[in-house]
Amino acid sequence: MNLTRAHLFALATASGFLFPLSIPNVGIDTEFWLITVFVLLAWFVFRWDAVKRISQRGGRPETALGISLVVADYTFNWIRGSSVGIADLLVIFVGTIVAFYGYQSLKVFWVPATYGVVLLLGYQVVNLVPNLVALQDWLARLMATVLNALGISSTVSGEIVSMSTSGGTPILLDVGGPCTGVQGIIAFGMLSSMALLDLKPPKSRLVPIFALGFVGAFLINIVRLLLMFLTYEFTSLDVAVTLHIYVGYVVFIAWVVAFWGIAFRYLVPRNRPAQAGSDLPIVSAAHRSNEILNTIRGVHDPRQASPEDLSAKGF
């Protein structure tokens, strides 16, 4: 296979994201790294033809600027001894774009870049919320109600659900702040919705796309939480704790894939023709959905991270 500039750009982006692992005292924030990589993987699959058709080239000043941005970010994290997070990955991605294609090509990459910015701002807003007690208590009551309906005896007090394992061992499960899954809802609700914007659906369908994306992510989070309770009921504590670490990502990503399948069939026009004068035609959404489904099946390793910061007793 002949390596094109697009292939080299994709390799450079991947290398830029992995390189922090080799920097002493730096490393990566695994949760945010996995989310960002999944976003870019999806976008590259959807828009690979568009990337291959980019005709712009960065001049030497732009190449130097792009490389400088990436090096500066590495250096900043090395001095601070901090992990590479969303903001850093966004800088690395933008720097790589500028180095390869020049700043004018950034318009082609607006969806993944915007996703990173909005995700970063959304997480900051969540961090400013003093507490999520009302949501925690509601989720705890919901879990107790569902468990009792399934024949599993449980009681609830505030955010604490009391139940027993299949072996009769009583346990108290705390639906803490991270258990609400707000960060996962923001991350994967936005991912499921924004990935479709580059396919330019009609404005009349934008509201259904975003509504279904976020409502679905919220409901899937409830499913995730219920699965956690059931694993504590029907498996050993060690198995439940292990599943607790990574099952959230499996559930959320399964939802994203299912949502894309629904959206491609009912919400986004199929085989929409390219706009006059455009050198970046929009390819068949159905074809791209099949590609990304096959790609996801082969690359995801859920054991690498958790969908939110976990405590010993929380979800």
Half-sphere exposure of 67 (CA within 13 A, CB side): 8
Q: What is the pTM of this model?
A: 0.64
Amino acid 78: pLDDT: 92
CA distance 194 to 176: 29
CA distance 315 to 308: 8
309 secondary structure, DSSP code: -
Tell me which residue of 116, 9, 114, 119 sits closest to 54, measured CA to CA: 9
CA distance 103 to 92: 14
Q: For residue 22, how many other CB atoms are within 10 A of its CB?
A: 8
Amino acid 10: pLDDT: 92
CA distance 55 to 34: 30
Dig out the tokens for 65 from the structure.
Answer: 């600027």
- Tens-of-pLDDT digits for all 315 residues of the chain? 678 889 999 999 999 999 998 888 888 877 778 777 877 887 787 778 888 888 888 789 999 999 999 999 999 999 988 888 888 988 999 999 999 999 888 888 887 777 777 777 766 666 666 567 788 888 889 999 998 898 888 888 888 888 876 667 788 888 876 677 676 677 666 666 666 666 677 777 777 777 777 788 888 888 888 888 888 888 777 777 777 767 777 777 777 777 777 777 766 655 544 443 344 344 444 455 455 445 444 444 433 434 333 333 344
CA distance 56 to 90: 21
Amino acid 31: pLDDT: 72
